[in-house]
Amino acid sequence: LQKILILLHVTTCVVVGKTLMILFPNAMRRYILKQGEKSRMNENPKFSYENWGPTFFSFKYLLFVLKVKWKRLEDEAYEGHPAPNTPVATFNGEVRHLFDFMRDNRPLILNFGSCT
């Protein structure tokens, strides 16, 4: 049921977005560029709107967003319930699962952060 609701929501957003891009291309360009500012994507001189802007609200975009949102359903954690066994990437780029790092009865400690 959750996947169906996500499918309906994302499909509606893509159809509305694509329609707005056709009817109001300049306004949507400004909107998409404004969203790019939030992620600081616009600061990279190698990215130009012409390269990535038109991909918004495409069929590939729809499939990508669905894949991400459906994957996140598996990653939800609830208090008092077991932790999800989410995929993680090692420093050398290998994809493993969280529980792969557990050893016997030792606690598994996760440290999240970012480097900029």
SS3 116: coil
In this predicted structure, the answer to whether residue 97 has a pLDDT above a threshold of 80 is yes
Helix or strand (DSSP H, E) at 45: none
Average confidence (pLDDT) over 77-96: 82
pTM over 0.75: no
> Tell me: the pLDDT tens digits for 7-64?
999 999 999 999 999 999 999 988 888 887 777 777 777 778 887 788 888 999 899 9
Fill in the DSSP letter of residue 7: H
Domain boundaries, the chain: 1-74
Can you tell me which residue has the tokens 């598996």?
A: 74
The answer to whether the beta carbons of residues 41 and 47 sit under 8 Å apart is yes
**Residue 49 DSSP code:** H
